[in-house]
Structure 1
Amino acid sequence: MIHGLITASLVFAGSPAAAVQAKVDCAKVKCLALTFDDGPGKTTPALLDVLKKERVKATFFLVGKRVAERPSVARRTLAEGHAIGNHTYTHPWLTRRLDDDIIRELQTTQEAIKDATGLTATMFRPPYGRTDDRVLYLANQYGLAQVMWTGTTLDWDLRDAKKIKAAVLRLAKRDGVLLMHDTVPQTVKAMPGIVKELKKRGYHLVTVPTLLGVKRLKSGTSYP
């Protein structure tokens, strides 16, 4: 089953994300980054509706093939101030692939995101979290920093809104990066309650670039 950072000045200078969250200083307030892999999918617009209504931002790692299928959703994601990263074109297990295959997966996704949104992605997340020094070296050739996570909800397996919400609340911590999937309907269903409870607990829900603050994601480096 499909699993599924960089400052505003590096990736989104002049973008909605930079404008909206520039005032959030995660060194002074309690921040948390919600990240979503594998989209854009059928349920992504509904998730974007929730995030827009709640006035929070997230980070989306996009599958190139799905960007090509739903370019308007990718454009909307960026336009509404969310951060975007590369999640390969067909979602393969990269450490099992030849160098040329890895390069093709990253390059074609870079092109798909650029064509759809005008953005040159500078971060990526390896499918299934499967990575090694070779993958990181090849990603560096495309100016990509690797973004992992501090906790995964396993929403793709749970498939239950209440359990997914409970997982998020259990994993939430200051400066955390949580992994979810916008292609899981139950995750989208759980999101209004998740956001409300996290806000109640004092969290500022921000993009990964905002979470890093003055730090810089460097190409070929893995975070967090």
Structure 2
Amino acid sequence: MRRFLVIRLAAAVVAATSVISASPSHAAACSKGYVGLTFDDGPTSNTPALLDALKQNGLRATMFNEGRFAAAYPALVKAEVSAGMWIGNHSYTHPHLNQISKAQIDSEISRTQQAIAAAGGGTPKLFRPPFGTTNSTIKSIAAKHGLREIIWDVTTADWSGVSVDRIVQAHSKLTNGQTILMHDGPPNTVAAIPRIAQLLASRGLCAGMISPQTGRAVAPS
């Protein structure tokens, strides 16, 4: 009887090992590189649900926070950091930066740096201009504050209320080093997270950090 149990236990271990080695997340993990998942306009009341979905599915992302929200909800900024996310600067009030003065652009960026740092999010090294609108003046002011400007390679258009299917499908366009735009608030974005994780794993892609040096997604350091 004892010998029979030992044999059964050994067989179970072999079977379990076979399942693990055969799963896409193990067999093909990161073989095709890294992509940058990004979420704009937080933190919001939706942030805890978003963070839970990301953590449960083994994903990390860059959260481009607005300064006014970081100042209002510092606990959520801390929660983003605790969940392993990276924090970026997305201006203070989300204006069209190309329509305001240099002094106002500087204020939008510098106040957000201060708000995120004060909330426990560290000093951001990445900056995403609202609406993706930029020019040489905006870039130079961001650089003065030690920030690398990050736009995006692919957008999900989740802000417009598109379906979960559309949000997931957008991720099929990603290739190594690229970034994708999502937002903190849309409920369909949260609902899409498990399928996004499955899709990336099936394509041999991992969620990485965005390098301040190159602006491309790389392996987390």
Higher RCO (CA-CA < 8 Å; seq separation 6+): 1
1:176 Cα deviation from its structure 2 partner: 1.4
**1:22 matched to which residue of 2?**
none
Percent sequence identity is 37
**2:24 matched to which residue of 1?**
none
1:62 Cα deviation from its structure 2 partner: 0.4
**2:103 matched to which residue of 1?**
100
**2:197 matched to which residue of 1?**
195
**Residue pair 1:158, 1:164 contacting (<8 A) in 2 also:** no
**Residue pair 1:159, 1:184 contacting (<8 A) in 2 also:** no
TM-score (structure 2 length as normaliser)? 0.79
Larger mean CA deviation between 123-132 and 46-55 belongs to 46-55
Q: Which amino acid aligns with 1:109?
A: T
**1:78 matched to which residue of 2?**
81
Flag as ranges the 4+ runs of structure 1 deviating above 4 A: none
Partners of 1:86 and 1:145 in 2: CA distance: 10
Partners of 1:196 and 1:76 in 2: CA distance: 24
User: Deviation string for 1:99-139 (max 9, x for gaps)?
Assistant: 11101101111111010015111211000010000011111
Partners of 2:33 and 2:140 in 1: CA distance: 33
Partners of 1:40 and 1:208 in 2: CA distance: 19
Q: Which amino acid aligns with 1:116?
A: A
**1:30 matched to which residue of 2?**
33
**1:161 matched to which residue of 2?**
164
Partners of 1:142 and 1:194 in 2: CA distance: 33
2:119 alignment partner, SS class = helix
Q: Which amino acid aligns with 1:143?
A: G
Is the radius of gyration larger for structure 1 or structure 2? 2
**1:69 matched to which residue of 2?**
72
**1:18 matched to which residue of 2?**
none
1:29 Cα deviation from its structure 2 partner: 4.7
1:38 alignment partner, SS class = strand
User: Deviation string for 1:159-218 (max 9, x for gaps)?
Assistant: 32122112222x222221111111111111111111112112211111213xx7xxx25x
**Residue pair 2:49, 2:190 contacting (<8 A) in 1 also:** yes
**Residue pair 1:61, 1:86 contacting (<8 A) in 2 also:** yes
1:117 alignment partner, SS class = coil
Q: Structure 2 residue aligned with 1:110, among 110, 113, 116?
A: 113
Partners of 1:183 and 1:45 in 2: CA distance: 11
Alignment of 1:1-224 (within 5 A): 29-117=32-120, 119-169=122-172, 171-209=173-211, 216-217=213-214, 223=215
Aligned residues: 188
Partners of 1:57 and 1:118 in 2: CA distance: 15
Q: Which amino acid aligns with 2:61?
A: A
**Residue pair 1:38, 1:61 contacting (<8 A) in 2 also:** yes
**1:21 matched to which residue of 2?**
none
Q: Which amino acid aligns with 1:153?
A: T
Partners of 1:187 and 1:112 in 2: CA distance: 26
The alignment yields a C-alpha RMSD, in angstroms, of: 1.8
1:95 Cα deviation from its structure 2 partner: 0.7
